[in-house]
Amino acid sequence: MKKPQSGTVERGMYLLFTLVVVVLGWIIAAANTGIAYLTLGMDWIPISTGVLGCFVLAIVLRFLHCAWWLAALSLVPALFVLVGSVQYAPEAALDNRGVRENVLITDDRAGDGNAHHRFVLTGRSGKLEETLNHDGDFPKWKVGDRVEVVSDPKGVVPLEAASDIDPDSEFDTLVMGVVGWTGITLLAGRRGFVRRAAGRRPVLDAA
């Protein structure tokens, strides 16, 4: 009776491991979107948890693939997941409960080097407490322009220009990231099974 070779890997168990990692990616994306909803106005929280989740998945992918390059490649769709999960919640909140108003830009309180613009707005009831912010050069607005803005009646989500609010686009970005993760995970599972069956190890683990 032949003894099984040391490189033998159970195909069914490896397929199950692969599917578990696929689901883990979905859970990370969904959980971070939920965290962003629960912490509206505190973007640093879902950014932190999202970055942590992305690195956790990359590490798990390294073990699944038995190599590092697909784990590194997973950071590309991870960026889509991070941006989509963090930005979808506040934009959806403004889209659903926000108050729209047509306002006049009456002043531009630019920061150092004119790179951080804080546009002062005047509406029907006078000067608005919130400013329309643009971080960077070459803003799309200037003093004297009229712009439609959306403000959060609860005061949690910062005011934004109506033209910049597109939750569907952020959701699409999130889905693209999850699809990318799923594809990379399935490829990692296939290649990892072959590598382990052949007894191969990651180059960085050879030492």
Q: What is the mean pLDDT of residues 97-118?
A: 82
Residues sharing a CB contact under 8 Å with residue 144, sequence separation 6 or more, in sequence order: 104, 105
Query: d(Cα 178, Cα 126) in Å, to the nearest integer?
Result: 45
Residue 167: phi, psi to the nearest 5?
A: -60, -30
Query: d(Cα 164, Cα 146) in Å, to the nearest integer?
Result: 15
Tokens of residue 145, six digits: 């322009």
Is 49 within 8 Å of 37 (Cβ atoms)? no
pLDDT at 164 exceeding the cut of 60: yes
pLDDT tens per residue, range 23-77: 999 999 999 999 999 999 999 999 999 999 999 999 999 989 888 889 999 999 9
Averaged pLDDT score across all residues of the chain: 87
pLDDT of residue 4: 43
pLDDT of residue 11: 80
Query: d(Cα 72, Cα 84) in Å, to the nearest integer?
Result: 20
pTM for this model (two decimals):
0.82
Amino acid present at 194: V
Pick from 138, 104, 133, 135: nearest CA to 121:
104
Q: What is the mean pLDDT of residues 164-193?
A: 95
Instruction: Give the least confident one: 15-19, 90-94, 134-138.
Output: 134-138
Q: Regarding predicted confidence, which is higher, 34 or 134?
A: 34
The confidence band for 10, taking pLDDT boundaries of 50, 70 and 90, is confident
